[in-house]
């Protein structure tokens, strides 16, 4: 199915068109974080058991992006986005009717397949129109729009839990997906991907070209591990704040939102610095900040056991906020290598990003000892590996 082409558009218009679409992912995770204790009570399990569904969602997203990216190269962006949104909406409605933990786990994976296909289409669309530093600026603008979702999502989720129960959260997610289907039809710009007329068998060749590119894969893996650092905290945030520190549910959105505010700050700094500093250098600097904050957090946990919130929160803000500078620069850098395989490249990036994050979350929750140590170790190791891989990849450049 070919799409009609359209004139070149501005960076701002493209960001405004794609930002709400990419927000499907953060909304699917952040909205129900305040509901984890209520869901645990509903299913009759521990909070850490329900936390597994967060990791399963991101691993399902990995598969959704791996398949959705190259399929959008072949079929066009909009058909894949519509299919992903419809699957996401149906799974969300079924989750609201679930009565057992295994049902939640299964449906979250199905929901994530649709969400992943949707998100990767938006990311690949940027490469259809822009490259290099210009692409990094568009992605930073999209990131700013997308950050509105995790800023308001926990507050909306907490309100829905109090007023209507946790099921209302997933009914709301289904409604958002249906609205986005209309958004894709009316607002998302159309474009004929270079690969739209290729045979479906070329999808595997596109994967091969990406996987065999050393510098691109170093950036992709570093991006995924950096995101894993943030995701480790996202997965454990309900336990950390609501159970370990015993803060009120109404305070959770404020503490969680502090991380989003830091990400917005890093996003704006990134936009300013991109005018005169290469994207790969900004990515490296952000990773250095993330590593330093994560290791300081681990040191505080090892020495104090239960660091005061005034120390814990800023360190997590820095370690998580740096991701807002890592991700847009990473995508701009590696897609530059693949003008004809941008869907495959963003698909592999998204797949590895969410797979690594999901594995990090699963390992952390499976080894959880009801202290802060598993979280601190996971964040420090993931950030350090990200920086090491990026430096190794850059050292291999001619």
DSSP state of 190: P
The separation between the first and the last C-alpha atoms of the chain, rounded to the nearest angstrom, is: 40
The verdict on residue 138 lying in a domain is yes
176 has a pLDDT exceeding 50: yes
Domain, as residue range, for 134: 11-395
Alpha-carbon dihedral sign for residues 270, 271, 273, 277: positive
pLDDT of residue 3: 41
Compute the half-sphere exposure of residue 349: CA atoms within 13 Å on the CB side of its CA.
33
CA 184 to CA 121: how far, in whole Å?
Answer: 11
Q: What is the pTM (predicted TM-score) of this model?
A: 0.70
pLDDT in tens, 77-130: 888 888 999 999 999 999 999 989 999 999 999 999 998 888 777 777 776 677
Alpha-carbon separation of residue 55 from 22, 172, 177, 364 (angstroms): 19, 21, 21, 10
CA dihedral (309, 312, 315, 320) positive or negative: negative
SS3 98: coil
Identify the pLDDT of residue 261.
Answer: 86
Largest CA distance in the chain: 61
- At residue 5, does pLDDT exceed 50? no
Instruction: Give the whole-number percent of the chain exceeding pLDDT 90.
Output: 30
Instruction: Confirm if 1 and 79 have CB atoms less than 8 A apart.
Output: yes
CB 322 within 8 Å of CB 289: yes
Query: What span, in angstroms and rounded, lies between the C-alpha atoms of 227 and 58?
Result: 11
Q: What is the model's pLDDT at position 347?
A: 74
Residue 1 belongs to some domain of the structure:
no
Residue 7: is its pLDDT beyond 50?
A: no
Q: What is the pLDDT of residue 141?
A: 73
**Mean pLDDT to the nearest integer, 328-353:** 77
| pLDDT tens column, 315-326 | 999 999 999 899
Residue 303: pLDDT band with limits 50, 70, 90: very high
Residue 386 lies in a domain: yes
pLDDT at residue 148, as a whole number: 74
- For residue 4, is it within any domain? no
Q: In this predicted model, what pLDDT tens digit does every residue of 208-257 receive, in sequence order?
A: 777 788 888 899 999 999 999 998 998 888 888 888 898 887 788 788 88
**What pLDDT sits at residue 204?**
67
Tokens (6 digits) for 254: 């404020």
pLDDT at position 195? 47
In a domain, 280, yes or no: yes
The pLDDT of residue 330 is above 80: yes
Q: Residue 259 — very low, low, confident or very high, per pLDDT cuts 50/70/90?
A: confident
Given a cut of 70, whether residue 6 has pLDDT beyond it is no
Q: What whole-number distance in Å separates Cα of residue 332 and Cα of residue 349? A: 12
Confidence of residue 296 (pLDDT cuts 50, 70, 90): very high
Report the C-alpha gap between 146 and 139 in whole angstroms: 10
Q: Name the most confidently modeled range: 51-60, 141-150, 227-236.
A: 227-236
The values of phi and psi at residue 199, to 5°, are: -70, 155
- pLDDT given at position 358: 80
Q: What CATH number does residue 272 fall under?
A: 1.20.1250.20
Helices (H), the chain: 11-22, 24-30, 36-43, 47-75, 77-95, 101-129, 132-146, 148-163, 167-186, 202-211, 214-237, 252-273, 279-304, 309-321, 323-335, 342-366, 373-395
For residue 139, pLDDT beyond 50? yes
Span 24-35, mean pLDDT?
A: 83
Residue 325: inside a domain, yes or no? Answer: yes
- How many domains does the chain contain in total? 1
pLDDT of 193 > 60? The answer is no
Residue 179 lies in a domain: yes
C-alpha closest to that of 18 among 219, 262, 184, 218:
184
| Residue 249 three-state SS | coil
Residue 3 lies in a domain: no
pLDDT for position 323: 92
């Amino acid at each position: 199915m070919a799409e009609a082409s359209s004139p070149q558009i501005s960076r701002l218009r493209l960001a405004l068109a794609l930002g709400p679409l990419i927000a499907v992912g953060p909304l699917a995770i952040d909205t129900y974080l305040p509901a984890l204790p209520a869901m645990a009570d509903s299913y009759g399990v521990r909070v850490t058991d329900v936390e597994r569904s967060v990791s399963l969602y991101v691993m399902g997203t990995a598969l959704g992006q791996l398949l959705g990216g190259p399929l959008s190269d072949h079929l066009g962006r909009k058909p894949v986005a519509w299919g992903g949104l419809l699957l996401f909406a149906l799974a969300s409605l079924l989750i609201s009717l679930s009565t057992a933990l295994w049902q939640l786990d299964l449906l979250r994976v199905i929901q994530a397949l649709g969400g992943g296909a949707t998100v990767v289409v938006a990311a690949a669309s940027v490469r259809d129109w822009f490259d290099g530093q210009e692409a990094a600026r568009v992605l930073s603008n999209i990131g700013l729009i997308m950050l509105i979702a995790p800023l308001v999502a926990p507050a909306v989720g907490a309100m829905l839990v109090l007023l209507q129960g946790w099921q209302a959260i997933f009914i709301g997610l289904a409604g958002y997906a249906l609205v986005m289907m209309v958004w894709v039809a009316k607002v998302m710009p159309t474009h004929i991907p270079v690969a739209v007329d290729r045979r479906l068998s070329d999808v595997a060749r596109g994967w091969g070209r990406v996987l065999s590119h050393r510098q691109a894969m170093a950036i992709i893996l570093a991006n995924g591990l950096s995101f894993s650092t943030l995701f480790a905290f996202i997965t454990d945030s309900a336990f950390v704040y609501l159970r370990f520190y015993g803060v009120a549910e109404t305070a959770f959105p404020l503490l969680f939102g502090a991380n989003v505010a830091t990400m917005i700050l890093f996003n704006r700094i990134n936009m300013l610095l991109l005018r005169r500093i290469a994207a790969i250098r900004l990515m490296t600097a952000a990773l250095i900040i993330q590593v330093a904050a994560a290791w300081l957090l681990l040191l505080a946990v090892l020495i104090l056991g239960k660091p005061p919130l005034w120390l814990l929160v800023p360190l997590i803000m820095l370690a998580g906020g740096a991701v807002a500078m890592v991700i847009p620069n990473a995508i701009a850098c590696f897609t530059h290598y693949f003008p004809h395989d941008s869907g495959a490249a963003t698909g592999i990036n998204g797949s590895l990003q969410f797979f690594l994050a999901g594995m990090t979350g699963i390992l952390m929750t499976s080894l959880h000892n009801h202290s802060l140590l598993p979280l601190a170790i996971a964040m420090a190791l993931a950030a350090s590996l990200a920086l090491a891989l990026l430096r190794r990849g850059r050292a291999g450049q001619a």
